[in-house]
Amino acid sequence: MNVLIDNLPKIISGFWLTVQLLVVSGIVATLLGTLLAGMRVSPVPVLQRAGTAYVTVFRNTPLLIVFLIIVTGLPAVGLQYSFFVRAIISLSLYTSAFVCEALRSGINAIQAGQAEAARAIGMTFGQSLRLIVLPQAFRAVVPPLASILIALTKNTAIAEVFGVTEASYQLDSLVRDFPTALWWLFAGIAFGYMIIVFLIAGGASLLERRWTVTR
Amino acid sequence: MSTVLFDVPGPVARRRHRIGGVIGSIVLLALLGLVLWKLWAADQITPKAFEPFTDPDILRGLGEAILTTLTAAAVAIVLALVFGAVFAAGRLSDHAILRWPSIAVIEFFRAIPLVLLILAMFLGFGDVTGRFWALVLALMLYNGSVLAEVFRAGIKAVPRGQSEAAYALGLRKSSVMLLILVPQAITTMLPAIISQCVVALKDTALGYIISSQELASFTKQVISGYNNPIAAGAIAAAVYIVINYTLSRIAQWLEARQRRRGRAVVPLASTPAGDPSGGVSGGVSGDGSGPTR
């Protein structure tokens, strides 16, 4: 127990990095994932296929391999970024494929009759998107997006292996100094992750409750 | 074909789509060309970078690494199925003394990063279990907890009338479970279980952290020996993609078949795996699915 209290500053600073990774990657992945989803639902076959190929590749490759390629590959082609930036790139490339699928399933969850009705009363594409399609799609994507954010939280731990001193790295380094306190450290750091995960899950269920509509 | 977003395109719209297609192709090809040219110039995708993979020793090592990965995933999934069944039964139990610990265990292992779990297993028990089993046990705990939730959803997805009818016949809860609900739930859950195999297979790559001699660790050794991260990484990624894509397609096919037969299905999580990833997968993953909402 004392180990946790004595090393609280280290653990807190580790989690501060975890949160930074989570927020920045989350934003970048959402932007990239939205672009990909737009490509996949567009009526242009070339864009559809390119989006599908991207999603297939990144959904079936382990994140660790993505990290390995980005972290060792970027310097090899002469791009010198910090470990933090390389971790952000890896996490964003990987997570955006899942964001794309969540958004696409949200759009596909809308009954075609809704959009047909919007067109029938003379709405333009922009109006139908803004007033009919997107509001419903947003509601449908809250649960899967929350799951993706939770997975991203846990995935940031992989950055530990690639030079980012976030929360999981603290376990690695503190155990070297306090070998007998492994399970205390594990419990303390696990608890930190659980707080983040339950905050995301709680936020999502709040949103869901506020937005519940009878279908 | 009218979709939610678009009506059936007329001649003007079709021309617009064609123009969009041409512009899109040019942009994508330019991007791809730039990346490939950069890599070629840096000697990363030239034949020289792939040369190690013509060496019989390296190829043998690659084969062994793939075998280790597949073995770890298979053993972990089998153990996870048992673990999941036990804890799903505990979670569905009428006795609070069984239910609450089961819930705690399931939620705990789903909420913490697998990396942390693998590290703790290895640091705590590594000298007894060795690297391979530290990885497999961590995978079992995580995937077993996810599967426990899948089983619970599967049992709940069986139409209510089935258990009501069984109770009406005078069967006890245990008989209702074993004779009526579980057999029907198994077919329902098969797609989700196969998806979880993909998550587990992806997550074996985390063995890299403790150098457990699977495909990711092997790739690292090749890269450090020959400085060809892109070529070696691409080969490793290709192996994973081929295996996982095949598994995903089988899961989708099974799910579609069940929908056609009008059976209930446990929806496939499109989340990364712990990935997941996570599983995000999915996972999935994973997934990577969070605590129950």
Q: How far is A106 from chain B (nearest CA, A)?
A: 11
Q: Can you tell me the mean pLDDT for A164-175?
A: 90
Helix%, strand%, coil% for chain B, nearest 5: 80, 0, 20
Of B274, B282, B6, B172, nearest to A128 by C-alpha is B6
CA angle B190/B195/B197 to nearest 5° reads 95
Q: Is residue B224 part of a domain?
A: yes
Q: Which residues contact B160 (CB under 8 A, 6 or more apart)?
A: none
Q: Is residue B1 part of a domain?
A: no
Coil, strand, or helix at residue B82? Answer: helix
By the 10 Å C-beta count (0-12 exposed, 13-18 middle, 19+ buried), A167 is classed as: buried
- Backbone dihedral region for residue B262 (phi beyond 0: left; psi -120 to 50: alpha; all else: beta): left
Backbone angles phi, psi at A121, to 5 degrees: -90, 15
Range of the domain at B68: 53-261
Q: Which residue has the tokens 């590290």?
A: B119
| Residue A210: predicted pLDDT | 83
Of B106, B282, B114, B115, nearest to B196 by C-alpha is B282
Q: How far is A184 from chain B (nearest CA, A)?
A: 11
Q: How far is B56 from chain A (nearest CA, A)?
A: 23
Return residues 152-171 of A near B (CB < 8 Å).
Answer: 152-158, 160-161, 168, 171
**What is B90-122 written as a DSSP string?**
HHT-S-HHHHHHHHHHHHHHHHS-HHHHHHHHH
Sign for the CA dihedral angle at B100, B105, B111, B116 comes to positive
Q: Is residue B48 part of a domain?
A: no
Measured CA to CA, the distance from residue B135 to residue B139 in angstroms comes to 6
Q: How confident is the model at residue B113 (pLDDT cuts 50, 70, 90)?
A: very high
- The whole-angstrom distance between residue A174's C-alpha and the CA centroid of its chain comes to 28
Q: How far is B174 from chain A (nearest CA, A)?
A: 33
Measured CA to CA, the distance from residue B213 to residue B69 in angstroms comes to 8
**Residue B257 CB coordination number (10 Å):** 14
Sign for the CA dihedral angle at A178, A183, A184, A188 comes to positive
Q: Which residues contact B237 (CB under 8 A, 6 or more apart)?
A: A57, A61, A65, A66, A69
Closest CB from B4, B24, B219 relative to A112: B4
Number of domains in chain B: 1
Of B131, B139, B140, nearest to B211 by C-alpha is B131
For the stretch A145-161, pLDDT in tens is 999 999 999 999 999 99
Q: Which residue has the tokens 């990095």?
A: A17
CATH code for the domain in which residue B232 is found:
1.10.3720.10
**Residue A192 CB coordination number (10 Å):** 20
For the stretch B131-151, pLDDT in tens is 999 999 999 999 999 999 999
| Residue B287: predicted pLDDT | 35
Q: Which residues of A touch B194 (CB under 8 A)?
A: none
Contact (CB, 8 A) for B266 and B192: yes
Q: Is residue B277 part of a domain?
A: no
| Residue B163: predicted pLDDT | 92
Contact B270 A98 (CB under 8 A): yes
Q: Is residue B36 part of a domain?
A: no
Q: H/E/C letters for each residue in chain A? A: CHHHHHCHHHHHHHHHHHHHHHHHHHHHHHHHHHHHHHHHHCCCHHHHHHHHHHHHHHHHCCHHHHHHHHHHHHHHCCCCCCHHHHHHHHHHHHHHHHHHHHHHHHHHCCCHHHHHHHHHCCCCHHHHHHHHHHHHHHHHHHHHHHHHHHHHHHHHHHHHHHCCCCHHHHHHHHHHHCHHHHHHHHHHHHHHHHHHHHHHHHHHHHHHHHHCCCC
Q: Which residues of B touch A200 (CB under 8 A)?
A: 290
At residue B187, does pLDDT exceed 80? yes
% of chain A at pLDDT higher than 70: 98
Q: How confident is the model at residue B220 (pLDDT cuts 50, 70, 90)?
A: very high
At residue B278, does pLDDT exceed 70? no
- Which domains can be identified in chain A, with CATH numbers? 3-210 (1.10.3720.10)
Best interface-test mutation with A: which of B214, B280, B281, B292 has the largest number of A CBs within 10 A?
B280
Q: Which residues of A touch B9 (CB under 8 A)?
A: 43
Best interface-test mutation with A: which of B36, B40, B115, B195 has the largest number of A CBs within 10 A?
B115
Q: How confident is the model at residue B45 (pLDDT cuts 50, 70, 90)?
A: confident
Q: Can you tell me the mean pLDDT for B33-55?
A: 88
Q: Can you tell me the mean pLDDT for B71-90?
A: 95
| Residue B277: predicted pLDDT | 37
